[in-house]
Structure 1
């Protein structure tokens, strides 16, 4: 892993404020990757599934009723058909969700010299960043971001969390604790729907005390030529589970399904949940991570918070033995999440090319 970026970093927010009607060539995507060149969904009623979690208690195994069974079924179908779903009545307060989003919006509007004090490097990506991958001369995405660790405790360093706005650290501490709790509940649901013990996936991730969780805050500035670029290139998430708090005013996330790019319409105070590559491996491709990307807007900025729920970095991840049989042999070789993540961080977002799907194909 490189210790520094191959080229000087340019903040996209600064470009947005200073480039009048034209974006730099470094951000112009090839014609096949541009938003308006792709096949877009034209059906206003098409959206990822919306699922109400009010029937899911912390102790899922305490007994099933009709409401719980229906919710489990809805999530199972969403995981198998989409790899994405939205959840409401998830246990995180709407006020906390709004506060978390807005403290980060305030951070991105701090003076540049304040933000530059948290500039990141390719070594860990933690801090204030503006590119993914270390390929020199790569076409870049129209976004800035902030990445920070929460779990395991040994990686959490409050000195790397912004000091401004003053409320940010307390808000994100509370928000992170709630997101870890929600992630654990969803992991149990996924395990039950695979016919496994409810704690099976959590154990494969290292158990409650060993999982890795981190936050990536995405800032997508206004763009004068949104038809030529992307806020985030097409990719599947390399980790286990992603819970996204989208911008409440501006849509931008697109999910790839049946050769269409479907723009997700966020429900009020919902989280968008998606399967990551590590869950695809553990489930032996019963659940699949799905390509997604982000488009940008010419008149409005966007802020979203992606919370990643990941395996312990040095654990070998491979298809669970309960899901492997002579009829369906293991599709993936074992690899630690740290090895896998290093590969992704080096290459940057590249569709699903990182996850080979031939039998015993190394990731």
Structure 2
């Protein structure tokens, strides 16, 4: 899998449900600012779930142009429904139903990826925590019309720390992938879900599956919205390292053993050398949930 990303069609999640999820998210961002701020997060205190806004220069000097809503959507017993939007009324019902079906789709994808590595079909899912421990975090990205899109980015270039990331969109192009030393804009395929590999699967597969560098653009004429769901292993319970079956004398391990939390901290440490200090308290969240 050279690209590490694909369009999923015939994925088994009803188009009607996906439209409900999109309408609910869109309706939330159409609320007056004072209503959205009732759900505001607080990065300084460590409360990352909720509504937030990015309007600042990033590490590359470009303006970031994005509002977002971030929350854990699965497993159900780990959710905090108190911070989920109360309006529109269908938000909780539609998002919960979507989360259940997407969790089943993640199982199928990891089974296929396991087979591709010559493993038993349940192996990768087991390695990332299984049904009980794998977390699904949703980030709705809302990119307003931008009068000078050449001076701004929705999300700057990064790779996801997740095992898998699933993305819905409102058919406005903007996701770009860095492939063969150039940026390529992903096509918008109707009724599809974009899926890409994250760092966790790249590590377990010893880079046989790649976590691709990507970024999000903004648009002068249209609002762009995406619904990204990050499938993440538990932060401390599992040590991530190349599976023995992916390593040989000619293909030594490319990654040292680390927990998921240690991997995040390692990426953060490398990034801190490149940014100004005022930026740091927001960096961890912005880097890994782009």
TM-score range, shorter-chain basis?
0.7 to 0.9
Change (3 A) 1:211 1:348: closer
* 1-structure distance, mates of 2:257, 2:48: 25
CA RMSD after TM alignment: 2.4
Computing the radius of gyration from Cα coordinates, the structure with the larger value is: 1
Which structure 1 residue ranges, 4+ long, deviate > 6 Å from structure 2?
A: 135-138
* 2-structure distance, mates of 1:116, 1:171: 22
What's the secondary structure of 2:68's corresponding residue?
A: strand
Unaligned runs of 5+ in 1: 1-79, 352-363
Other-structure match for 1:272 = 194
| Structure 1 residue 139 displacement after superposition | 5.3
* 2-structure distance, mates of 1:137, 1:323: 36
Other-structure match for 1:146 = 69
Residues 1:83 and 2:29 are matched in the alignment: no
Task: Choose from 232, 238, 257 the match for 2:155.
Answer: 232
Deviates more, 1:258-267 or 1:181-190: 258-267
Structure showing the higher strand proportion among its residues: 2
| Structure 1 residue 138 displacement after superposition | 7.4
- Aligned 8 A contact 1:236 1:277 in 2: yes
Other-structure match for 2:100 = 177
Unaligned runs of 5+ in 2: 269-281
* 2-structure distance, mates of 1:97, 1:154: 23
With the length of structure 1 as denominator, give the TM-score of the two structures. 0.70
Other-structure match for 1:104 = 25
| Structure 1 residue 182 displacement after superposition | 0.8
| Structure 1 residue 341 displacement after superposition | 3.5
What's the secondary structure of 1:98's corresponding residue?
A: helix
Task: Choose from 328, 333, 340 the match for 2:256.
Answer: 333
With the length of structure 2 as denominator, give the TM-score of the two structures. 0.87
State how 1:233-272 maps to structure 2 within 5 Å: 233-248=156-171, 250-272=172-194
- Aligned 8 A contact 2:174 2:216 in 1: yes
Other-structure match for 1:290 = 212
Task: Choose from 90, 108, 113 the match for 1:190.
Answer: 113
Q: How many residues align?
A: 271
Task: Choose from 126, 130, 145 the match for 2:49.
Answer: 126
State how 1:11-160 maps to structure 2 within 5 Å: 80-122=1-43, 123-131=46-54, 140-160=63-83
Other-structure match for 1:304 = 226
